[in-house]
Chain A
Amino acid sequence: MKIITVDDSSTMRRIIKNTLKRIGYGDEILEAENGKEALEILQQNPVDLIITDWNMPVMDGLTFVKKIRADHKFDDVPIIMVTTEAAKEDIITALKAGVNNYIVKPFTPNVLKEKIEQVLGLKD
């Protein structure tokens, strides 16, 4: 399974990458620092799952999700947003933009595993 993790924090990208390996999704993990870089990578490397932060410079996660959903090539790729934003209106905004699931930082490996299984249809 090919996954891209999009976060401006190199520490967070590392943590997500490591966690994915621990929970059995570490086959191929791509990394991007922001939405713009992720879009460029995705043009060459289609993925099975996108894990993105919200607050990033250059192109934030919400704009990135909207652009992904507007492109028919990627409109069915599951997206999980992992962010510090915990306000109800922010969660709704992200879901309306096309995010399939939402995780508030800091997260545990179990939560990430559960959410991945949900968006991949492996769990209710």
Chain B
Amino acid sequence: MADTQSEIDALIADFQQEKDDSVEDIIDEFVEKKEEEIEEKAMPPKKEKTEDEEEAEKLRGVRLPPQEHRVIDRLDEINKESEEKVNKLFERLETISTEVDEIENLIESIKPYVNKHKEFMDFFVEHFPKTSVKNNYEYFKNIINILNSIEEKINIVRDNTFEAMDILQFQDITRQKIERVIAVIKALHDYLNSWFASSFEDRPRARVAHTIVDEDDKEKIDQEVDEIIKQMQRGEVK
């Protein structure tokens, strides 16, 4: 019996010990988990890698400049944007031109009636000069003058619209000036790359303009062009 009791005591002691151990484990586990949570909260969230970062990784830490600093891309964008805007501007000018034509057509369409009416009033005033119609006749002549003034204004608006359209050629000339700058940058890029034997995928570009005429010299250049063409036709240029 005594043996059994001592065995029971030993069992209880073991059980107690195990219980203490497992509580300690649970506490340790809890503390560890909480510490991890605190640590995670303190750390900044993990970011997705950007294309630039991935490229930089491939280049073993060498960072490429950000997109907005890539000069040729930026210049191409500027060219594209300015072309789009100029085209929109051109569309507006075309709309103005069409509307002006419409106004002119409307005036033209009422003119025969106005002229007919004037003929009638001319006759009436000539034969009955003392009637009150004469006052109306003066008003009417004034309306005709206003119509003529509107037609003059239409012509001024149209001429100015056409001139503005012609001026928009500056966009193409400016674009070609920018293409020249791009060509210099590209040449520099190719030269540097040739040192490192790297290659560069590029879209096809236009040949760069050799000469872009200054507006002040334009008339002189046009005359020279005509002269060269005449010389060619006469067989003077070999």
Interface residues of A (CB under 8 A from B): 7-12, 14-15, 18-19, 22, 54-58, 60, 83-88, 90-92, 95-96, 101-109, 111
Contacts and interface: CB of A to CB of B under 8 A. Distances in A.
Given A57-B204, A86-B224, A96-B232, 11 more contacts: A11-B172, A15-B165, A56-B206, A58-B204, A83-B209, A84-B212, A85-B210, A85-B211, A103-B225, A106-B169, A111-B222
Nearest to B176: A84
Interface size class of B (residues with CB under 8 A): 35 or more
Contacts, number: 107
B221 A86 contact: yes
B205 A90 contact: no
B175 interface: yes
Contacts of A96: 232
B225 A15 contact: no
B162 A105 contact: no
A11 B94 contact: no
B222 A105 contact: no
B170 A104 contact: no
Contacts of A95: 228-229, 232, 237
A11 B173 contact: no
B72 interface: no
Interface of B: 83, 86-87, 90, 94, 162, 165-173, 175-176, 179, 203-213, 215, 218, 221-222, 224-225, 228-229, 232, 237
Interface of B is mostly: helix
B172 A86 contact: no
Given A15-B168, A84-B173, A109-B166, A104 B87 contact: no
Given A84-B213, A86-B211, A91-B225, A105 B172 contact: yes
Contacts of A8: 206
A38 B32 CA distance: 74
Nearest to A56: B206
Contacts of B179: 55
A57 B183 CA distance: 13
Nearest to B213: A86
A10 B83 contact: yes
16 contacts: A9-B172, A11-B86, A11-B90, A15-B169, A22-B162, A54-B207, A55-B206, A55-B208, A56-B207, A60-B207, A84-B173, A95-B229, A96-B232, A102-B229, A106-B169, A107-B169
Contacts of A54: 207
